[in-house]
Amino acid sequence: MNLAELISDRLTVAASRLSAEPGDLASQVRQAQDPKFGDYQINCAMSLGKRLGRPPREVAAELVAALDLGDCCEPPEIAGPGFINLRFRQEWLAARLAEAVADERLGIALAARPRTYVVDYSAPNVAKPMHVGHIRSTVIGDALVRTLRFLGHRVISDNHLGDWGTQFGMILYGYRNFLDAPAYQARPVDELSRLYRLVSRLVDYHERRAARSELVAKVTRAAAELAGAERAAQAAAADPKQTKAAGKQLAKAQAGLREAEAALAETDDKLAAIDHDSQLAALAREHAEIGAAVLRETALLHAGDPERRRLWSEFLPKCLVDLDVIYRRLGVTFDYTLGESFYHDRLAGVVAELERLGLARASEGAVCVFVEGYDAPMIIQKQDGAFLYATTDLATLQYRLETWRPDAILYVVDHRQSLHFEQLFATARRWGMQDVELVHVSFGTILGKDGRPYRTRAGDTVGLAWLLDEAVEAARDVVGSGEGGRELAPADRERVAEVVGIAALKYADLSQNRTSDYVFDREKMVSLDGNTATYMQYAYARVQSIFARGQVDADALRRGDAKIVLDAPAERQLALAVLRFAEALALAMSDYRPSQLTAYLWELANCYSAFFEACPVLKAETPELRTSRLLLCDLTARTLCTGLALLGIEVVERM
Ligand code: ARG
């Protein structure tokens, strides 16, 4: 049962007598800040009063008179300027808890109007090692899939693999020119990624060589601008009205020069790294036209050249095996893995249709969709005939609508692709796709402690496998320190460390507001006192150990007809927290933010701690109280376990 929704539904009825358009009342129902004032608070009398030109307390009184909450609440109280404070009746709360005890779903209702969702997530670019950026998409997407499904929606999860891009052109070129055959025999994926890295470095080298003179020119221009700004600043020094503007201009010019110099320095570093390595330098000389050659390889692959297609079909399954190792460790599965290659045959048709409809037109040799409000168009076919990322996404959209008729499509993708999705969605609307909700569930970057995108000490982007190992290693240090953990056998310890480590990594990610960047902190992630999976798992294991110590049969307890008593304040707070699960799920899904769910679990675990401090369980004063508290413990554990499961996180009985 969703408590906040129950109140706002009744409030809507009550308010309709006062105003023809009661507005958004749901957002005016809040959990009370302080239990002194009750459980929930209705805050709309102030805004309603303003709109009606009447004193808010009078409006509040009228609302209270009309409010039909007698079955579940004590008589409401009006406080301050017109807050309405609500307190649930003890027996009513106990009855809701009894329902939750008896229900496998903990009293969480299925959606009244189930929707069909397509969730597009993970989507790494095959043959490049999966990096930390992909963990966010994978973990957030997985949590959304699980939660929406739990709420009764139809969910199609689709891993839109990047299996058709220029990286294959690089690998094909590398394979034909630089292959170490025995290495490929022994560890094919390692060899393919070596080839990828080698070719992309060489391509990058030549691109930087070609672009260097422009960078030098930029530095010269920036230096000239700075000199000008310095002169202007000197001239303005006499006039206080002008000094501020001139100072700003000067700072801007200084920053501009720093930026230009940094760009040039980066290029020079990269160039030097190749030039100073005689082997690489020789390769770079021999393969001067590598950039164009790679594009040709990609084009041949796309055009259906038998040799390239054969190689692609040989590489792809090998790469997928590697990805699967990661997915298995993360416990993530997909209904479909329809990569970009799957849509290849539709691309020409999509371009033709958009041209026919007048949505796309030729511009400077390319075919473009011009989207209102954006300077740059969305290019869907290049001058050389190649299709682009956007073309594939349009074709994918068309396929998904035809095949699954979804109500919503969620794209769980890095915030750097925001512009792409804005233009994609705008084009889709003009293409007649009106009835589907299209959402870019964007997320920020994972940063290192230095505040820059997370990298290894050697400066490489961090591979996902490495990150998982790090998390498990950090977990090893805390496993065994918890209650009952000391008796773990070494093999169990290893299994538990894997569960705890992966959980910590996922939770650290999910508990961040997804749109912000966050700092990856190995130690904090497995901290036993903080908003971490480890803490939640520990709270869960603590309940299990109470049941074990008291030799309590949880199933029998649930089947019995014992009542839950809520006399102590900590008991009542815990009960309310348990019953707020439905509300937390609704909130989390209203904006596709798993962090709302982790925030809830954190609050629940804290209420449990407070309860545990204040209320003896096995040593409760009476047998009835003991049973009642055991039931509360059990409900807490089940809610934690279910909530974590919706985030793709497992619990352990002992740790
Ligand atoms: N492969 C892309 C990348 O790694 C993400 C694809 C996201 N999904 C989509 N339909 N565009 O950047």
For 589-639, give the DSSP string: HHTT-HHHHHHHHHHHHHHHHHHHHHS-STT-SSHHHHHHHHHHHHHHHHH
Q: Which residue has the tokens 């899939």?
A: 145
575 or 166: which leads in pLDDT: 575
Cβ–ligand 1 contact at 120 (below 6 Å): yes
The answer, yes or no, to whether residue 287 has pLDDT greater than 60, is: yes
The answer, yes or no, to whether residue 459 has pLDDT greater than 90, is: no
Burial class (CB in 10 A: 0-12, 13-18, 19+), 559: exposed
Pocket test for ligand 1, best of 138, 160, 168, 341 (most atoms within 8 A of CB): 160
Residue 639 · residue 574 · CB < 8 Å: no
Q: Which residue has the tokens 């699960």?
A: 581
Of all protein residues, whose CA lies closest to atom 1 belonging to ligand 1? 162
Q: Would you state the structure tokens that stand for residue 449, as one six-digit string?
A: 């402690």
- Confidence band for 525, pLDDT divided at 50, 70 and 90: confident
Share of the chain above pLDDT 70, in %: 97
pLDDT of residue 203: 96
DSSP bridge partners of 410 = 119, 439
Cβ–ligand 1 contact at 413 (below 6 Å): yes
Residue 522 · residue 530 · CB < 8 Å: no
Distance between CA atoms of residues 596 and 114, nearest Å: 21
Q: Is 23 helix (H, G, I), strand (E, B) or coil?
A: coil
pLDDT of residue 526: 85
The residue-averaged pLDDT of 33-39 equals 89
In total, the chain counts a number of residues equal to: 655
The residue-averaged pLDDT of 77-103 equals 94
208-214-216 Cα angle (round to 5): 95
The answer, yes or no, to whether residue 392 has pLDDT greater than 60, is: yes
Residue 359 · residue 431 · CB < 8 Å: yes
Residue 377 · residue 363 · CB < 8 Å: yes
Pocket test for ligand 1, best of 158, 159, 336, 413 (most atoms within 8 A of CB): 413
Distance between CA atoms of residues 203 and 118, nearest Å: 37
The answer, yes or no, to whether residue 251 has pLDDT greater than 60, is: yes
Cβ–ligand 1 contact at 160 (below 6 Å): yes
- Confidence band for 583, pLDDT divided at 50, 70 and 90: very high
The residue-averaged pLDDT of 172-197 equals 94
- Confidence band for 463, pLDDT divided at 50, 70 and 90: confident
pLDDT of residue 609: 94
* Residue 465: alpha-carbon gap to chain centroid: 19
The phi and psi torsions of 125 (rounded to 5 degrees) equal: -90, 115
DSSP bridge partners of 125 = 162
Handedness of CA 55, 61, 67, 73 (dihedral sign): positive
The residue-averaged pLDDT of 443-449 equals 87
Of all protein residues, whose CA lies closest to atom 5 belonging to ligand 1? 123
Distance 643 CA to ligand 1 centre (A): 28
What's this model's pTM, rounded to 2 decimal places? 0.90
C-alpha distance from residue 618 to each of 473, 543, 651 (Å): 35, 11, 23
Cβ–ligand 1 contact at 393 (below 6 Å): yes
